[in-house]
């Protein structure tokens, strides 16, 4: 999968900004519904997970009677102003990431962080920053895409590891495959040392969740890799996530954000809320896997998922 962005300041920040066309002129999917309730334009960044989420939003709104379409956007710097202006109406977002994006926008790059591992507190902070922008933040769901750390299945079995706390208690020396900024960022090496007591001996700068990084852990060159909770390729490398049991990472729960004037009515909130309440992190991993590993189309996997959950008519 293409990794989703997580909190600003975290190591995967900016990955959602990879690639993609600008908002203008890229209409990726039309509507099959009657559209009697009006047009709704969904913005989706150009990586697998965002495209899948865009299709889920489009199809469930389409089924509810809206004329829904998806437009690909390059990154948050482009689509957030367009959402404010009403050029797009809805965006699938990440709670902590957007909270810090708006925090920096309002208060500057040295602003005190408002996001945390507490999803309720993070969403409250996000709403306080979003409302003056004319944005309405809907409820967060259980699906989360945030920084995560994985080890090889054999390493986990040998040392009895299920959590990051287990790794700290094991006393094992750990080299982390990640971006080179891992050495100084609080969500990576410093946090692993301080919060979990993990003996981090060095950083192997192979990138965040890259094939090379995961291969290095599979081969035993490194012991830990930084990736995300919705990485659909871990099994291919014989890797397993260790639970962030002391909540080092921020709450990057997936959350719908809408233009309050154009798409802030209760019905749109209710329609999207049904999906938000249903979608889990495991569901998202599987949807990503079907697109990236099986080469299925985002529209097809979204349709199958929504129909299987009874969220749209078959």
CB neighbours of residue 264 within 10 Å: 15
Residue 313 buriedness (CB in 10 A; 0-12 / 13-18 / 19+) = exposed
Are 114 and 99 in contact by the 8 Å Cβ rule? The answer is yes
pLDDT for residue 46: 86
Average pLDDT of the residues of the chain: 90
Note the pLDDT tens digit of each residue in 101-159.
Answer: 999 999 999 999 999 999 999 999 999 999 999 999 999 999 999 999 999 999 999 99
pLDDT for residue 36: 82
Which residue, among 98, 4, 12, has the nearest Cα to 47 in the 3D structure?
4
Which residue, among 58, 247, 221, 16, has the nearest Cα to 148 in the 3D structure?
247
Q: In sequence order, what E strands does the chain have?
A: 27-29, 39-45, 67-73, 90-94, 135-137, 147-152, 173-178, 199-205, 224-228, 239-242, 254-259
pLDDT above 80 (res 31)? no
Local confidence band at 35 (pLDDT 50, 70, 90 cut-offs) = low
Residue 38 buriedness (CB in 10 A; 0-12 / 13-18 / 19+) = middle
pLDDT for residue 116: 96
pLDDT for residue 44: 92
Work out whether the CA dihedral 76, 208, 277, 301 comes out positive or negative: positive
What tokens does 255 get? 């959350």
* Percent of the residues in the chain that have a pLDDT greater than 90, as a whole number: 85
The C-alpha atoms of residue 69 and residue 57 are separated, in whole angstroms, by 9
Note the pLDDT tens digit of each residue in 184-217.
Answer: 999 999 999 999 999 999 999 999 999 999 999 9
Question: Does the predicted model carry a pTM greater than 0.75?
Answer: yes
The C-alpha atoms of residue 62 and residue 239 are separated, in whole angstroms, by 38
pLDDT above 90 (res 24)? no
CB neighbours of residue 241 within 10 Å: 19
Are 138 and 61 in contact by the 8 Å Cβ rule? The answer is no
Are 11 and 43 in contact by the 8 Å Cβ rule? The answer is no
Local confidence band at 28 (pLDDT 50, 70, 90 cut-offs) = low
Note the pLDDT tens digit of each residue in 44-91.
Answer: 998 999 999 999 999 999 999 999 999 988 889 999 999 999 999 999
Q: Is 4 left (phi over 0), alpha (psi -120 to 50) or beta?
A: beta
Q: Tokens 């975290």 map to which residue?
A: 10
pLDDT above 80 (res 21)? no
The H or E element that residue 113 is part of is none
Distances (CA, A) of 165 to 49, 197, 199, 243, 249: 29, 8, 12, 8, 14
pLDDT above 80 (res 314)? no
Work out whether the CA dihedral 95, 148, 239, 14 comes out positive or negative: positive
Mean pLDDT value of segment 284-299: 95
pLDDT above 90 (res 32)? no
Note the pLDDT tens digit of each residue in 168-187.
Answer: 999 999 999 999 999 999 99
Mean pLDDT value of segment 255-280: 97
């Amino acid at each position: 999968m293409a990794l989703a962005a997580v909190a600003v300041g975290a190591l995967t920040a900016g990955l959602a900004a990879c690639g993609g066309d600008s908002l203008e002129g890229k209409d990726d999917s039309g509507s099959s519904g009657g559209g009697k309730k009006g047009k709704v334009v969904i913005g989706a960044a150009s990586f697998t997970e965002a495209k899948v989420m865009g299709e889920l939003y489009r199809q469930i709104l389409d089924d509810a009677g809206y004329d829904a379409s998806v437009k690909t956007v390059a990154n948050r710097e482009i689509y957030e102003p367009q959402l404010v202006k009403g050029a797009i109406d809805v965006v699938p977002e990440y709670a902590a990431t957007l909270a810090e994006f708006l925090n920096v926008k309002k208060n500057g790059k040295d602003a005190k962080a408002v996001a945390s591992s507490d999803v309720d507190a993070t969403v409250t902070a996000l709403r306080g920053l979003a409302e003056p922008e004319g944005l309405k933040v809907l409820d967060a769901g259980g699906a989360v895409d945030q920084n995560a750390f994985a080890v090889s299945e054999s390493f986990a079995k040998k040392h009895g590891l299920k959590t990051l706390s287990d790794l700290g208690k094991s006393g094992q020396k750990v080299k982390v495959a990640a971006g080179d900024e891992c050495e100084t960022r609080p969500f990576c090496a410093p946090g692993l040392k301080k919060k979990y007591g993990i003996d981090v001996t060095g950083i192997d700068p192979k990138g965040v969740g890259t094939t090379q990084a995961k291969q290095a852990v599979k081969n035993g060159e490194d012991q830990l890799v930084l990736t995300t909770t919705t990485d659909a390729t871990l099994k291919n490398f014989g890797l397993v996530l260790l639970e962030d049991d002391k909540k080092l990472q921020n709450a990057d729960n997936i959350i719908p954000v809408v233009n309050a004037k154009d798409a802030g009515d209760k019905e749109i909130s209710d329609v999207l809320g049904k999906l938000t309440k249903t979608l889990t992190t495991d569901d998202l991993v599987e949807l990503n896997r079907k697109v990236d590993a099986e080469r299925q189309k985002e529209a097809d996997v979204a349709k199958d998922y929504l129909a299987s959950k009874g969220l749209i008519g078959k």
